[in-house]
Structure 1
């Protein structure tokens, strides 16, 4: 069940890279990005700023979200180039949850360093343009996309409701977001999420020690229990796209157990979507 036993203070940003047969994830507080192939050795890279999420550009390059910018990162030599500033003039915020969309854009959420109320936003970077989509969010999370590319989900963990919004053909939101999965009555805190190929949403639930699947209509299907209290971000990968990976965190625990902060892998009976690729503007080589 344990894929990697590195104890992250705040593990996040789980991302399956099929070209490398590897999982990528972050320790936000540690300002570090990890990459580990299945059956291979873990690598890591350190950053000056907090880093939290990535999108795949191609076999060797990622777009990486930091507290001040979106970076183009080369896995071969660790070089990084700023693509665009991300709230660089706001010392209160850092990046948080993010994911590439089916149309080649990259959605990234921000939040306050101390979860200041309403300090965060969700942005979309698409072919060189960075546009704010939603503002006044406390803890941005659960960014994921329906397999048909016609809707996106996200949440403010502080509110406990996963929202869904329609997308146009170019991947931009249309209309107002609507409640999709309401977890308030159960007292659950939705963290990161990913959608499988059937449109099921897998929600990491902070404090509950689990990733729960909801079907395409938002109905609870099942829960995968994991041996860490704060499960933070899922990804579905592996050679057959049937392995559920999940990061966790030691942050906020008075007495962390030996598995808190580790990254987990469990075989499931649903197939995931292949991760979408971020399309860069032609001016970026």
Structure 2
């Protein structure tokens, strides 16, 4: 495989752009302007759409053609693609105004691993959660900035970083 060149995919400027996720069914890239509560959506051969979510959000997982699961500052919310309405599905630290969602990843088994962090990067304010078939579990706590959640190829080992420590866990 050769790369012919690199080009700018979108010239939209985000205050804190993160959480890119590609949907192969629609050939669309999604990402977030976290602090401004925006979901950005751009088909590979189409125009950029900017959706105002009204909450800080950082990760998306496609449920089906009509619904998306979005990690937000109050928990996992289901977004209706047609109406753009968000409905709280599973609260995560919703009673803690200090934290917000940060990095998330879907495990090969289908479980969503999602992290939180302090909005001001407060030391130890974050955690990493596991969500599967309606069950939510806190796996790790005392994290400052949860990031880079990923898995070994066979799914038996999970990794993450706490950006504040510079360590791979």
- Report the TM-score range of the alignment, normalised by the length of the smaller protein: over 0.9
1:3 aligns with 2:12: no
Q: Work out whether residues 55 and 72 of structure 2, in 8 Å CA contact, stay in contact via their aligned partners in 1.
A: yes
1:116 aligns with 2:126: no
The two structures have a TM-score, normalised by structure 2, of 0.92
Q: 1:129 to 1:91 in 2, by over 3 A?
A: same
1:58 positional shift: 2.0
User: What's the RMSD between the two structures over aligned residues?
Assistant: 1.1
Alpha-carbon separation, structure 1, partners of 2:61 and 2:168: 22
Alpha-carbon separation, structure 1, partners of 2:19 and 2:99: 17
Residue 48 of structure 2 is matched in structure 1 by 42
1:77 positional shift: 2.5
Residue 70 of structure 1 is matched in structure 2 by 76
1:49 positional shift: 1.6
Runs of 4+ with >3 A deviation: none
Consecutive unaligned residues in structure 2, runs of 5 or more: 1-6
1:160 positional shift: 0.8
Consecutive unaligned residues in structure 1, runs of 5 or more: 164-285
Residue 163 of structure 2 is matched in structure 1 by 157
Residue correspondences, number: 163
Residue 27 of structure 2 is matched in structure 1 by 21
Q: Work out whether residues 65 and 95 of structure 1, in 8 Å CA contact, stay in contact via their aligned partners in 2.
A: yes
SS in 1 for 2:79: strand
Show CA shifts across 1:103-147 (max 9, x none). Answer: 111111100010000000001111111110100000000012223
Alpha-carbon separation, structure 2, partners of 1:28 and 1:132: 22
Q: Work out whether residues 38 and 54 of structure 2, in 8 Å CA contact, stay in contact via their aligned partners in 1.
A: no
1:126 aligns with 2:125: no
Residue 3 of structure 2 is matched in structure 1 by none
1:137 aligns with 2:148: no
Alpha-carbon separation, structure 1, partners of 2:59 and 2:67: 13
The two structures have a TM-score, normalised by structure 1, of 0.56
Q: Work out whether residues 56 and 100 of structure 1, in 8 Å CA contact, stay in contact via their aligned partners in 2.
A: no
Which structure has more relative contact order (CA 8 Å, sep 6+)? It is 1
1:52 aligns with 2:58: yes
